[in-house]
Amino acid sequence: MKEYLKYNYFHVGAACFRCTLIATVFCLVSSAYGFKLQDTLTQGSLVVGHIAPGLKLEFMGRKIRVDDNGLYVFGLGRNAPPEITLTTSSTLGDKQKNYIFPVLQRKYKEEQVFGVPQKTVTPPIGALNRIRKEAAEVRLARSKDTKILDFLSGFRMPLEGRITGVYGSRRVYNGSSGNPHYGLDIAAPVGANVYAPAPGIVELVHHDMFYSGGTLIINHGYGVSSTFIHLSEVLLSVGQRVKKGDLIAKVGATGRATGPHLDWRINWFEVRLDPELVLKRLPSADD
């Protein structure tokens, strides 16, 4: 059974009045299943919510972990479609119900980047195996589905500085168009301190990846991870537990970088999210 939920069906509750864009207000309560979605659905955003404990949840046909209290998390990628489907079902898998939600489509800007090492724009044939191997290591680190709730403590900036690159922009490197940019770039000198934006477990430490140079991945639980790249130094080892605000690394200009800066990325498994939207959605409770 399909149920289309359009804007005019939304219950506009007290919590919704702070939302400014009518098109992105979602306050939905389905009495039949207790299904609730109070996030702004935007490309690049992290969605955190609760459903009635005991229900199963699928996002676009993909099973999502729901904890004993009904907590679930999923992420919307840079090119998430204009509509997504969430499916709830009872523990026995019956009484399936589909909900369709609109997703705000963003416009991304184009950024010309000159002065990156040419070998990283058109990598030499000999580097392809290395690039593939490193990509697989990163994929594996981001695929961990760990039952820790560290992301719920909220995020803070890992470093203060001028923002020089944003999520989603189309990048043109030395005149040739490359992949979009997924990180938040923060300018800082080589050796500047980088602090843990949220608690977590260290999943990957690599001192020299082809594209990303010194690389660190911290797992915040439920598929949410932070990646820090172009580092000159990583001060942690795999398996280590970090607290929010711990000194974790030093800024560098390693890999495909034009100058010293921190590039911070947030993922939900393989889905790349916008760190600025995550900071807004889950601000640090103790700031």
Which residues of the chain form contacts with Zn ion (CB under 5 A)? 165, 183, 185, 263
Q: Min. distance of Cβ 181 from Zn ion in angstroms?
A: 6
Q: Min. distance of Cβ 13 from Zn ion in angstroms?
A: 39
Instruction: Report which DSSP code applies to 280.
Output: H
Give 230's contacts (C-beta < 8 A, 6+ positions apart).
212, 213, 214, 251, 252, 253, 254, 255, 257, 260, 261, 262, 263
- By beta-carbon proximity to Zn ion, the closer residue of 185 and 274 is 185
- By beta-carbon proximity to Zn ion, the closer residue of 77 and 183 is 183
H helix or E strand, kind and range, residue 82: none
- By beta-carbon proximity to Zn ion, the closer residue of 66 and 229 is 229
Q: Is the Cα torsion angle 164, 168, 174, 175 positive or negative in sign?
A: negative
Q: Min. distance of Cβ 120 from Zn ion in angstroms?
A: 12
How far is Cα 188 from Cα 88, in angstroms, rounded to an integer?
46
Q: Min. distance of Cβ 47 from Zn ion in angstroms?
A: 24
Instruction: Confirm if 272 and 78 have CB atoms less than 8 A apart.
Output: yes
- By beta-carbon proximity to Zn ion, the closer residue of 9 and 114 is 114
